[in-house]
Structure 1
């Protein structure tokens, strides 16, 4: 197989068209078209469906792009590393990270990593939706309690747990009494929070009185004494230690793990390995207390 033709096919697939690929790379559009046609002839496959105004990968084209795109990237990075005399982390590092973790910590993490590795250019995209790492050209994704995915491998670098807290002026209710609750998301009806306490599992009847979309907003509101709230321990451990908030108990079955994931078919680039090592150094034990200290530091 002609590697140059394969590389041109990947350029066109990545940019979504011959014209876009030509403008982005400075390569002649006619050359890219000819190389892709030669590759299709050699494979006896149609890799693109060509319309009057659109160009779409066929099923075979998508499969070829998914399997060869990262391999070509690795070849380019290896050649660049050998030419420069070493395998130093360098280039763009494209990361997808969830909203709440990004708001709390990714600014400091990315800035610290950029200072430690000035030849790497981190690009953090904040989103909670599932992403296709291959087609969307991500090097790494960070996810909370991700579903099993045979195409991805990774490691859990942080663990947290949900706790129920309230201001000191709001007493833990007696059995059967309802407590005002602050909730994330939309307001609903009466609910039951199961608390894991030193005395065992306790059902806490709650009535939502205030709904917000951010855990940080919930923390500010619960400090005001409006009601009890379910929040990550890392976000309120300082308030609990100072007495600003009182811990009522852990929310049963609400353990949280943050994972750094990457494609299993790909050898780790130097920049991804460096970022994983940076996360490990920042959170060596992966505890909520380490995250709280990092946020306060």
Structure 2
């Protein structure tokens, strides 16, 4: 191979090989790249012919890189990273965002706040193609096929990750309950009077049964609750609170109208859960394209305008 002249197209085929190995199958790589599966298979076959080695096992139940394929994949990853960096550099000089931008975001946050901005961004920047996928469940440190992940975290609860973490906004939360739930308890003057009452758990913090509360003087206390109901979706938690299932922690943006109209109340007006910080996460600053940088900066402003921090 060293003695042969390698065609320039091999670089493109190597990047497609990287995408295929990352995706785990030709079908998945086809969906991600938009290249038909048959064309993708042919181009990897051409790459194998040019290199003179087999890169992939393609059995009906087994799709994986060969031993030499793994070594070439590891080196090709670096080539792809450099190409991405070159494209980002060229794009920054042209000041014209373009290309694909794949974003993962928790469902409720996507529906209530991020989708509005993402749709507007795609309309303004006509050469940017955005995919906004709703994530469900616990935070996964593997970014997979995404260029960006939007993730909320309370305090230091976010799992360790090698991803770059950029703060977008801080959202104020409230401890709430329905009037029907609070009526038998009477007037509450201190957090200790709510100890071991029914609470509604949230998957994002591991269904914790001990909640931190902070008062206006920045004093903290721990509130133990009896988790009678839990969910991984804040809309469901809100519905459970409205139904009288127990105490709940909700973003102020989500429950403000309920509080104003009396559907929910503040059991302890002087105490609230700590704010939740929304982050943008991505593999490296060098890999983030101009479109990605503009999206992150604009989304930060959008969220700060719509998520009161106090």
* TM-score, normalised with respect to structure 1: 0.71
Distance 2:200 2:59 in 1: 54
Report the equivalent of 1:122.
130
Aligned residue number for residue 159 of structure 2: 147
Give the superposition deviation at 1:52: 5.0
| Closer, same or farther: CA 98–64 of 1 in aligned 2, 3 Å | farther
1:1-297 superposed matches below 5 A: 2=6, 3-15=8-20, 23=36, 26=39, 29=42, 32-39=44-51, 48-50=55-57, 56-57=64-65, 58-75=69-86, 86-127=94-135, 128=137, 129-130=139-140, 132-133=142-143, 136-145=144-153, 146-150=158-162, 152-168=163-179, 170=182, 171=186, 173=188, 175=192, 178-184=196-202, 191-198=209-216, 200-241=219-260, 243-247=262-266, 248=268, 249-251=271-273, 254-264=274-284, 266-284=286-304, 288-289=307-308
1:75 & 1:201 partners in 2: Cα distance?
49
Root-mean-square deviation over aligned CA pairs:
4.0
Ranges in structure 1 where 5+ consecutive residues have no aligned partner = 293-297
Q: Distance in 2 between matches of 1:142 and 1:269?
A: 16
The Cα of 1:89 is off from its aligned counterpart by 1.6
Judge conservation of contact 2:17–2:73 (CA < 8 Å) in 1: no
Segment of structure 1 superposing worse, 11-20 or 160-169: 11-20
Q: Which moved more, 1:240-249 or 1:190-199?
A: 190-199
Structure 2 distance, partners of 1:147, 1:109, is 27
Unpaired stretches in structure 2, ≥5 consecutive residues = none
Q: Give the structure with the larger strand fraction.
A: 1
Cα deviation, 1:63-106, whole Å, max 9, x if unaligned, reads 22332223334546777x69xx9442223211111233223323
1:122 CA drift (Å): 1.0
Partner in structure 2 of residue 295 of structure 1: none
- Listed one character per residue, the Cα deviations across residues 114-170 of structure 1 (whole Å, up to 9, x for unaligned) are 22223222101222452644xx432211123343433x3241102125431123451
Evaluate the alpha carbon distance shift between residue 11 and residue 242 of structure 1 in structure 2; reply closer, same or farther with a 3 A threshold: same
Superimposed CA distance per residue, residues 253-279 of structure 1 (whole angstroms, 9 cap, x where no aligned partner): x44221112221634312112211221
What SS class does the counterpart of residue 288 from structure 2 fall into? Answer: coil
How many residues are aligned here? Answer: 273
2-structure distance, mates of 1:8, 1:279? 34
